[in-house]
Amino acid sequence: MHLAILRTGQTNAAIRANFPDYPDLYENLLQEGASHIKHAFSFSDFAVFNGEMPADPDEFDGYIITGSAAGVYEDHDWMQPLFAFIKACDVLKKPLCGICFGHQAIAKALGGEVVKWPNGWGVGVHDMQITAHTDWMPQADKMALIYFHQDQVTKLPEGAKKLATNEFCAIGAFAKAQHVFCLQGHPEFPADYSAALLEAIREKVGDSRTEAALTSLSEHTDATEVARWIADFFHQTHLANADKAKLKTA
């Protein structure tokens, strides 16, 4: 299965020399999550923030949209082409996964709403209560992930269902049918990367929240389990689409 990583951002310039950039983070995440699937994934990546985009949604078997320092309400040349591409993938039911900004961009492109949260940043390790399940998720009650966000999805697109929530972030994950899976948290961020990033953006986040978030990084997260959910999401949706294509040509 050939996946495209749509890079809407990159590792913060202050820590880039010491840590991997987004393509490696996401490839590592998905390869770890797909350890139970033989020959699961190959990857290509596109620097969407530099105007790179796949020529057609059918060019790849699925897409993962990364985090970004940008907000979906900002005016960037690459934003509208990204939204149009998301809509095209939705029409074709092409597997589409969004992480943090990607979660927000997919929600907005498909008719949801995203705002800059008045209560500030959500950072560090936080638990989300799971409110609904999908075919690629086990019957877990909660998930803990690392978070870095100032924006939040406040209204879901039509036909989407909320999967996770907590008091700070009402919509922490959502799905649409079998082809869209989105998460506000960062399963791809290791603790050391997150600690360095927190220090790099301390002035924006504030000392109190930064210190609390740094302390939280010693807590357990469910990143490994969530990586498997994402891998299973892509794998199951791809197989289902392949079966539908066979039926059409039979």
pLDDT digits (tens, 9 = 90+) for 74-100: 999 999 999 999 999 999 999 999 999
Show which residues are catalytic. Answer: 100, 186, 188
Query: What letter would DSSP give residue 137?
Result: S
Q: Where are the domains of the chain?
A: 2-249
**pLDDT for position 247:** 55
The residue among 151, 147, 10, 20 whose CA lies nearest residue 68 is: 10
Question: Rounded to the nearest 10 degrees, what angle do helices 101-109 and 79-92 cross at?
Answer: 70
- Which residues are within 8 A (CB) of 45 and not within 5 positions of it... i.e. 6 or more apart? 4, 5, 6, 7, 22, 23
**pLDDT for position 245:** 64
Domain 2-249: give its CATH architecture.
3-Layer(aba) Sandwich (3.40)
Handedness of CA 204, 209, 211, 215 (dihedral sign): negative
Q: What is the pLDDT of residues 154-187, one digit of tens each?
A: 999 999 999 999 999 999 999 999 999 999 999 9
**pLDDT for position 6:** 98
pLDDT (mean) for 60-83: 96
pLDDT (mean) for 209-221: 97
